[in-house]
Structure 1
Amino acid sequence: MFIQSDPKRKLREWQDYTLIMPAVSVGNVGQLAVDLLISTLWMERVGHIHHESILPLVGNDPFAHEDFNDCKLVTSCDVYESIEHKVVVIQQRAPFVRGKMALFRKWLKEWIINKSFKKLVILTSSRSEERLDIQIQGDQLRFLASQCMEETKTCQMLRSAPLNWLDLERRNTPEELQNGSEKPNYIYVPGGGIAKSLLEECGKDMPVVVLLMFCSEGDNSQDAIFLASRLNQWLDLVDMKPKKREDGQIIKPLPGWKIPLSWRHLFGARVDQTLFH
């Protein structure tokens, strides 16, 4: 269930809002990209999702300012809101309980429909070692769209300049290969978490876009920045254009993404050098 941070406030209405959520996937790229959105847009935490399918977690606020001392906590699945941009973000910080993912998909679909979201955007990643030959060079970003989204002009815009997004290449199943099929239809997203199954679950009833990057495990902060930037080119959430005077001189530099303080701890503390004396 969704639990509001302030139960005294009126239940939120998110009609015509865009819902963005990450999949717990290889390199945590989607989750890191969502971190950037929350931090840069100064999104308000409006509640959390408590569901039996997600492992419990509690921790310090990853977006707290180093000069503040408000002692906020976060859970395994928090919900953030930006009224200005009409965007709601789900940040999932813990994986699913084995065998329980389908329960969460069913609940989430009902919640999205109940809240009347305009569209769902899923950020995920896929194992780079599983790429096709055609995917090894060039743009490492791909997208998938639901049938509801394909019926709008949005997909045509995504495929056209200046975005130039590429559709994820389909593959043949083993049965299709045996039958000599020349038209692959299978969607293959290894390491992509809930993204594919959620697209299939929700795609029949609402506009859904899955945006993914090919990557490997490691320091995936740059992958996250790239993914968030490509998403921003479409949704235009963060003004990335420098401000100029009439003579062309820049008066306000490119703002860029606000990196959360929690990213300083991605790899833990440095080794105490006195150990080697």
Structure 2
Amino acid sequence: MVPLSAGGMFVPCGSSAPPDFEGFTLLLPAVSVGNVGQLAVDLVISTFDMLKVGYFYTDCLVPMVGNNPYATAEENSTDLSINAEVYSLPSKKIVVLQIRSPFVKNKYRSFCHTLLSWVKSSKCAKVILLSSSHAYQRDDQQLHGTPLRYLLTPAIQKIVGDLMQRLNWKEMEKIPAYPGVNDTEMVLHIPGGGITKLLFSESCTNGIQMAVLLKFCSEGDNIPDALALVNYLNEWLQLIKSEQNRDATTTCLQWKIPHSWRLLFGSGLPPALF
């Protein structure tokens, strides 16, 4: 076990030694509107059949246990999964922390500190946080163009800032702190974004290389939002190659939908009701 602050620790699967994440990119979701980040992370884990290497043991998340969401056969369908698990893809130097339950009230800050101390102790190169924000709370400038945005901490800005410019990505706009009263003081506002803003500002303060990728969305069927967000991530990391459709007008990315998504809206109405 690798002890951290009081808020949690990484526990490797079985009795094996902790895996080495030095130089890896850590990918994780903010538990935010429409669960878009979590669904996008699901697609990455499922597509690459990532290996579960451990758990993130924490008292900051609501306890949860369920069946294996990425079951591919009868044998692994009964594996249990919990609220925070760690998956690894050494071939692409990616480690994923999937979070499956909401935060316990007033435990946001404790979780952020725990997570960032783990990032430092495991020597991860950078962190990418996948998030979302309420579409209906956009200000006027955010209504134009793409619904996708990014944020970079100063530590990562030096390294990938130019690339974001070349990709023609839009940085998350700041809005006036006191609209109509004082329009000079600008602040970051991410309504519905869960821990996004806190984790980002803590990473800025601690010199951590973090990028936030987010999408404006509404609650509902958020599968298209998750696909848009994971495609956005792929523009940067080039995890999978895009394939041209036969008519060559659209590019198609082959993400593998996990088994558990069949029950995303419940299991249907029991016939006995009628």
TM-score (structure 2 length as normaliser): 0.90
**Residue aligning to 2:261:** 263
**Residue aligning to 1:212:** 214
Q: Which amino acid aligns with 1:212?
A: L
Q: Which amino acid aligns with 1:155?
A: G
Q: Distance in 2 between matches of 1:131 and 1:180?
A: 17
Summarize the Cα distance change of 1:274–1:52 in structure 2 as closer, same or farther, 3 Å threshold.
closer
Output one character per residue of 1:14-37: Cα deviation in whole Å (capped at 9) or x when no partner: 111000000000000000000000
Q: Distance in 1 between matches of 2:155 and 2:70?
A: 35
> If each structure's strand is expressed as a fraction of its own residues, which one has the higher value?
2
Summarize the Cα distance change of 1:275–1:180 in structure 2 as closer, same or farther, 3 Å threshold.
closer
Matched, 1:155 2:161: yes
Q: 1:170 aligns with which of 158, 167, 174?
A: 174
The share of aligned pairs that are identical, in percent, is 39
Q: Which amino acid aligns with 1:263?
A: W
Matches within 5 A, 1:23-38: 23-38=30-45
Matches within 5 A, 1:122-201: 122-152=129-159, 154-160=160-166, 163-174=167-178, 177-181=180-184, 184-201=185-202
Offset of 1:254 from its aligned partner? 5.8
**Residue aligning to 1:3:** 11
Q: Which amino acid aligns with 2:168?
A: N
Q: Distance in 2 between matches of 1:274 and 1:208?
A: 51
SS in 1 for 2:233: helix
Q: Distance in 2 between matches of 1:180 and 1:262?
A: 46
**Residue aligning to 2:233:** 231
Q: Distance in 2 between matches of 1:180 and 1:130?
A: 18
Please list every run of 5 or more consecutive structure 1 residues that lacks an aligned counterpart in the other structure.
none
Q: Which amino acid aligns with 2:197?
A: K
Output one character per residue of 1:153-174: Cα deviation in whole Å (capped at 9) or x when no partner: x1121122xx221011111112
CA contact (8 A) 1:41 1:238 kept: no
TM-score (structure 1 length as normaliser): 0.89
Offset of 1:85 from its aligned partner? 0.7
Provide the alpha-carbon RMSD of the alignment.
2.1
CA contact (8 A) 1:81 1:89 kept: yes
Q: Which amino acid aligns with 1:157?
A: L
Offset of 1:242 from its aligned partner? 5.8
Offset of 1:141 from its aligned partner? 0.1
SS in 1 for 2:91: coil
The structure that has the greater radius of gyration is: 1
CA contact (8 A) 1:23 1:123 kept: yes
Q: Distance in 2 between matches of 1:171 and 1:179?
A: 11
Q: Distance in 1 between matches of 2:252 and 2:183?
A: 52
How many residues are treated as equivalent by the alignment? 262
Deviates more, 1:141-150 or 1:234-243: 234-243
